[in-house]
Structure 1
Amino acid sequence: MAPPKITFYVDIISPFGYIAYWMLRNSPVFANVEKTYVPVLLGGLHKQCGNVAPILIKNKDKWINKERDRWAQLYSIPIRQGTPPGFPTSTVSSGRALTSLSLEVDQEQLAKAADVFWAAMWCPQAEVLKGIKEGRNEHGEFDTKDPKTLETLLSAVLDGEIAKKVMGSIGEKQVKDLLVANTNGAFEKGAFGLPWFECTNKKGETEGFWGFDHLGHVVRFLELEEEGDKGRSGQVMRAML
Structure 2
Amino acid sequence: MQNDPVFKSCEVTYIPIFLGGLMKACGNTAPINITNKNFWIDRERRLWANMFNIPMKDDIPAGFPIMTLNLMRHLAALRDLDGNQTRMVELIDVLSNELWAKHTEIHKPEVFQPILQRALGATDYAKLVEAVPTKGKSLLMANTDKAFADQAFGLPWLVCTNAKGETQTFWGVDHLGVAASFMGLEKPSAGPWKSVL
Q: Does 1:217 align with 2:178?
A: yes
Distance (Å, rounded) in 2 between the aligned partners of 1:91 and 1:212: 20
Q: 2:92 aligns with which of 94, 102, 114?
A: 114
Residue 51 (structure 1) shift: 1.1
TM-score of the aligned structures, taking structure 2 as reference length: 0.91
Distance (Å, rounded) in 2 between the aligned partners of 1:143 and 1:67: 22
Residue 111 (structure 1) shift: 0.5
Aligned residue for 2:138? 177
Instruction: Give the unaligned 5+ runs of structure 2.
Output: none
Distance (Å, rounded) in 2 between the aligned partners of 1:68 and 1:25: 18
Residue 235 (structure 1) shift: 4.8
Distance (Å, rounded) in 2 between the aligned partners of 1:40 and 1:90: 12
Distance (Å, rounded) in 2 between the aligned partners of 1:177 and 1:149: 23
Give the aligned length.
Answer: 196
Aligned residue for 1:82? 59
Structure 2 vs 1, CA of residues 142 and 165 (structure 1 numbering), >3 Å: closer, same or farther? Answer: farther
**Identity, % of aligned positions:** 40
- Asked if structure 1 preserves the Cα contact closer than 8 Å seen for 2:188 and 2:194, the reply is no
Matching of residues 1-241 of structure 1 within 5 Å: 24-105=1-82, 106-124=84-102, 142-172=104-134, 174-225=135-186, 231=188, 235=191, 237-241=193-197
Residue 198 (structure 1) shift: 0.4
Say which SS state the counterpart of residue 158 (structure 2) adopts: strand
Instruction: Give the unaligned 5+ runs of structure 1.
Output: 1-23, 125-140
TM-score of the aligned structures, taking structure 1 as reference length: 0.75
User: Which AA in structure 2 matches 1:169?
Assistant: A
Structure 1 runs, 4 residues or longer, greater than 3 Å off: 234-237
Residue 54 (structure 1) shift: 0.7
User: Which AA in structure 1 matches 2:158?
Assistant: F
Residue 169 (structure 1) shift: 3.0
Residue 236 (structure 1) shift: 5.6
User: Which AA in structure 1 matches 2:196?
Assistant: M
Distance (Å, rounded) in 2 between the aligned partners of 1:116 and 1:96: 17
Q: CA RMSD in A?
A: 1.8
User: Which AA in structure 2 matches 1:231?
Assistant: P
Say which SS state the counterpart of residue 61 (structure 1) adopts: helix
